[in-house]
Chains A and B, each alone.
Chain A
Amino acid sequence: MRTFDYERATSPAAAAARVAGTPGARFIAGGTNLLDLMKLEIETPAHLVDISRLAGLDRIEETPEGGLRIGALVRNSDLAADRRVRRDYAVLARALLAGASGQLRNKATTAGNLLQRTRCPYFYDGNQPCNKRMAGSGCAAIGGFSRNHAVVGASEVCIATHPSDMAVAMRLLDAIVETVRADGSTHAIPVATLLTLPGDTPHVEHGLEPGELITAVTLPPPIGGTHVYRKVRDRSSYAFALIAVGMVVQEDGSGRVALGGVAPRPWRVEDADALLPRGARATVEALLTGAKTTSENAFKLPLVERTLVSALAEVRP
C-alpha cells in the first residue's frame, strides 16, 4: 500500500470539488473493495476523501412520484432489509442478499456497490498483463482462465465481468443515479448508461466526470409483478455469480429480465423483454445476440437459458 493523504468531506459538493482538484484523489465510503485493491497496489490513490460521514446520504426516502430515493451511503444490509424495498422491489432485496457476506453487506454502500471493480483474477495479480489495470499491457484472461468471464459486451482487449448483484436489480428496475459535480451542479444518469463497455479502453468503467459523486439512486414507482433473482454459483453463498437472472413478470406474462455474470455491466436488452411471453429461448437469443465465448465459459449460454426456463416455471407454475 502506498502512503496517502486522508480527509473527511464536509459536503457532497465540497467532496466532489476536492477530488476533482486533487491529483490522484479518490472517494472512500465502505472501502470493501478499494482497501483490498490499495493493499495490492492495484489502486494507488494519493489522496482519499472520506464521504462516509456525510449527513443525509444514508436515508431511504419516498419520492413525490411514488418511488424511492436511496442515499449513496445506505448500506447494502439496510437496503435489503427496508420494508418498502422488500415489498415493492423484492428483486433488489434478493439480489443484495445474494451478494457478498453479511459482514461485507454491513459495510458496503449503495453507490460503492455500483462502482465496484471486476474480480477477474488477472486484474488482481500485478505480475500479469491486464488492460484494465494498466492500459495497453494486454489481457491475460483471453487465452487464460476465463471460466467466470463475459460472453457479451466484452471486447478484444478485455473480457472481465462486473461482479455486482445489486446492480443487476437496479438495471432491471430502471434506477437513476443522482450525482453532484465539482461545480456543484447535479445530474441524473440512468444505471443503464452509468457503466460503460470496455471497447478499446477497459480501464474506463463509467462516464462520471473527475470528482463527480453519486449522491443517491432513485427507483421509479413500483411496477408490481413477481420478482425473481436467481444467482447460480459454485457454492451456496459468498461467491460471485457464474450467471444471475433478475426478472419481474406480470400476470399477463409480460415482464423484464436482466442478467449478471455475463457482461462487463448488468446486462439487459429491452427488445428481449418483449419476447418473455414467448419463452426463455427467444428471450435468451435476443439477450445474448453476438455472444462470444471461450472454451471455458461457453457453458454460460445454455446455463442462462436453463436458469431462465426454471425461473419462469417458478413464476408461472
Chain B
Amino acid sequence: MKFDTPATGNAIDRLTIIGHPVDRIDGPLKTSGRAPYAYEHHAAVPNPAYGVILGAAIATGRIRSIDTAAAEAAPGVLAVITYENAGKIAQPKGPPLALLAGPRVSSYDQAVALVVAESFEEARAATRLIRIDYAREQGRYDLAAEKDAAVMPPSIFGGESDTAVGDFDAAFAAAPVRFDQQYSTPDHSHVMMEPHASLALWEGEALTLWTSSQMIAGARRAMAMLLGLDPQNVRILSPYIGGGFGAKLGVRADALLAAVGARAVGRPVKVALTRPQSINNTTHRPATLQRIRIGATADGRITAIGHEGWSGNLPGGSAEAAVQQTRYLYAGADRMTTTRLAVLDLPEGGAMRAPGEAPGMMALEIAMDEMAERLGLDPIAFRILNDTQVDPENPERPYSLRQLTRCFEEGAAAFGWDRRRAPGAVRDGRWLVGMGVAAAFRNNVPMKSAARVVLNRDGRVTVMTDMTDIGTGSYTIIAQTVAEAMGVPLDSVEVLLGDSRFPVSAGSGGQWGAHNATSGVFAACMKLREDVALKLGFNSAETVFEDGMVRAGNRHVPLAQAAAEGDLTVDDAIEYGDLDKRYQQSTFGAHFVEAAVDAATGEVRVRRMLAVCAAGRILNPKTARSQVIGAMVMGVGAALMEELVVDRRFGFFVNHDLAGYEVPVHADIPHQEVIFLDEVDPISSPMKAKGVGELGICGVGAAVANAIYNACGVRVRDYPITLDKLIGGLPAV
C-alpha cells in the first residue's frame, strides 16, 4: 500500500478495538515466566555450551600477547576464542565498532576473548586464567578537553550537520534581549532489564541466532556482513525482549561471539553480557556540551535562536544530535544549529531513548525557562508566543498537525499552574516546593513496514512480521489492528513477531515502531479483505467486515468461509510517498513537574508529574500510557541521578553496576498523570497515529530542573542535578 495522500475514512476509524485500553496479550506469558528470552530457549536448543566474554582491562592500546593455555586446560572448557583464532570478522566503517579487540584495544571492556565451556561457571572461572600482556596507551577521554578539536560530522540523522536560516549573528547582536548560556549532559546507560544475550546454532553454513534485538532485519544484515555469510543463511529470532532503549538496535559482542564460538566448538553456544559489560562493553548515550543563544524583542518574540552541540565518539561513531529539535520547535526568523564531534576513546556511543532530543531538550527547555524569566514572562506564555504552525526553517512547509499550545493550556489547567509562585516562595516544612514546565517534542518517522496475514478455515487470522516487542506493546496493538481491520475478535488473532523469516518491518526504535508496523499490518489486512471479497463474490468496495462476518447489503457470509478451501495468505507493506517532505511531522507535549528541595540537604523529591501528549491517534491508551510514564521515569533519572562517571585517567565508566549507576526507585516516582489529546493525524499514516514512546522523555529533565529552580532559586545547568550542586545556593541554615 502506497501512502501518498492523507488518509480518509477507513476500517480503523470504527474504533471498536483500536483506541481501547486493551491489556497486553503477552502479559500472562511474561508474568508467569513462560515468555522465553534470548538466553532461555531451552526447548529449541536443549544442550548449549556456555560462552563468557572477557573484556579488555585497558581502554586504549595494544595486546602484546595472549596466553590462553591455562584457560584451555581448565575443567569443562571447550574453546577459547580470541582475535588470533576467531577467523575472519569484517570491520564495517560505522557501528558496531570493533566488537572483538586485537591486537588493537579501542575501548575499555571491549571483548578480547570468549571462553566456551560446558557450564556457565566453568566458562566464567576460565576467563580469569587468561593472561594478557597489554601495551597501554594514553587515549582521549575528556569531552571538554577535546571540544576544540571536534569537527563537523558527515551528517546527523541522515541530514545536514549544520543548519542556518537568515543571519543569526546579526539578528542576535541586534536583539533587544539576549540570552547566552552553556549546558552539559553526562553519558547515560540504557540499563534495560534484560542484558544483551544470544544463542547461536549452526546447521552447515546456516546460522540461527536467538538474540535480543530491536531490529531483526538489521541484525541479520549485520551478522551476515560480520561473518561473510549470505543473508539467506542467517536467521534471527527475537520474540521477546526485556527492554532495549536503543542498546539493542545493532548486534553486539554477545551475538558475534556466540556465533563464532558455536562454529568453533560445533555446538550451540549462548552468551549473555554481565551488567558491568552492558555498561562498558556496549553502547551508551554520549555526553553533550551545549550552547544556546536566544535573542528576542522586549515583548518576548524570538528573533534569533542558535544551538550548538558537542559530543564525542570512537572514530566512525555518530554524533549526538542534541540540536535537532531547535530546528523545529520555536519560531524565529534567523536561526542556526551546529553539531561537532570529537574523537573519544571511550566505549562506543549510540542511540538511547530519543537520541538527540532527550539531551537537547534538557538544555533548550531550561534556556526557554531562563529567557522567560529574563523577559518577565510566564514560561508557558513565552512558549505559546513563539509557537509556530510551520517548519521555521521552511515556512512554506506546514506541520501536519501541531497542538503544542493546547498541550500547555490543558496541562496548565489540570496541573494547577496558576498556583506557581516566585522562586523560593513556597515552603512546606523543611521542603522548598516549586513547579516547572517544559515542552516535549520528537519527530515522527515514516518508514516502510511489511507484514503477512493468513486467514484460516476457522476464521482465525495469523499475522507475521519481523516487528519486535521490546516491552512496548507491539503484540497487542498489532492484534488490535488485525481485529479491527478484519472484523474479528481479538482472541481470533495470533501475532507472530521477531523472526527474520517474516516480512521486514520498521522494527523498534526512534518511536517509529507502533504507527509504521501497524500501518504495514493494516495494508496487508486491506489486501486480504480484497481477496476475501473476491473469494466470496462480494464487490470489495461495499463490503463490511464485522463480528466475524462479511456483509454487503442483505448478504452476509462468515469470514471463515473464504478460507474453506485453504488458507488465504497475503503479504503487503506500507510505503510512504512524499508527505513527510510536504509536511513536517512531529509529536508534541507538555511536561509539568512539582518538585520539593530539602532546604537543608538539597535532596530533591519529585512530588507530581503530568504529561500532556499530542501524538496523533492513540492506538491503545494503556500501552501508550505505560510508554509515557516509563519515559517520564527515565527523564527523572536523567534530571536527578543518572551519570556514567568517566575516569579521565583510565578511560572508562567507573560506576559500572546498578549500585553505582543509579536510576529512580519506586520511592522517587510520585503519582504520574498522562493526558492524551484526542486527535488524529491523517497525514502521518493510515492508522492516523504517530510515535509516542520517546516523546515521553523529551523535556522531562528540564521540567524537573525548572521546578527545582522555582522551588529553591538555584539554577543548575550541568546534569544530573545532585544535591552537591544545590547546597551552595540554598539558604543558610
Contact = CB atoms under 8 A, between A and B. Distances in A.
B723 A232 contact: yes
Contacts of B730: 306
Given A1-B124, A303-B724, A306-B733, A234 B656 contact: no
Interface of B: 57-58, 108, 121, 124-125, 128, 276, 430, 598-603, 605, 640-641, 645, 647, 649-650, 654-657, 659-660, 662, 664-668, 722-724, 727-728, 730, 733
A240 B659 contact: yes
A95 to B, nearest CB: 17
A190 to B, nearest CB: 30
B170 to A, nearest CB: 41
A22 B442 CA distance: 63
A225 B260 CA distance: 67
21 contacts: A1-B125, A2-B128, A39-B124, A41-B128, A119-B659, A121-B655, A121-B660, A128-B650, A140-B647, A145-B655, A232-B601, A235-B641, A235-B665, A235-B667, A237-B666, A299-B724, A303-B602, A306-B600, A306-B601, A309-B600, A310-B600
Q: Which 6 pairs show the lowest CB-CB distances between chains A and B?
A: A310-B600, A236-B667, A299-B724, A127-B57, A309-B733, A145-B654
A59 B667 CA distance: 32
Contacts of A313: 430
Interface in A47-63: none
A284 to B, nearest CB: 12
Nearest to A297: B724
B280 to A, nearest CB: 10
Interface in A89-121: 119, 121
> Which secondary structure dominates chain B's binding surface?
loop
B603 A232 contact: yes
A121 B654 CA distance: 6
Given A127-B108, A143-B649, 15 more contacts: A121-B654, A124-B657, A125-B654, A235-B667, A235-B668, A236-B605, A237-B666, A240-B659, A242-B724, A280-B733, A302-B728, A303-B601, A303-B723, A309-B733, A313-B430
A127 B657 CA distance: 15
A171 B645 CA distance: 32
A307 B667 contact: no
Nearest to B429: A314
A144 interface: yes
A267 interface: no
Contacts of A127: 57-58, 108
B727 A299 contact: yes
Most chain B CB inside 10 Å of its own CB: which residue of A41, A234, A307: A234
Contacts of A3: 125
A310 B733 contact: yes
A194 interface: no
A134 interface: no
B598 A310 contact: yes
Interface string A139-162: 010011101000000000000000
A97 to B, nearest CB: 12
B462 to A, nearest CB: 41
Contact of A234 (B108, B276, B430, B662): B662
A286 interface: no
Contacts of B727: 299, 302-303, 306
A121 B603 CA distance: 23
B723 to A, nearest CB: 7
A234 B723 contact: yes
A60 B299 CA distance: 71
Nearest to A41: B128
Contacts of A306: 600-602, 727, 730, 733
B600 A307 contact: yes
A306 B600 CA distance: 5
Contacts of A27: none
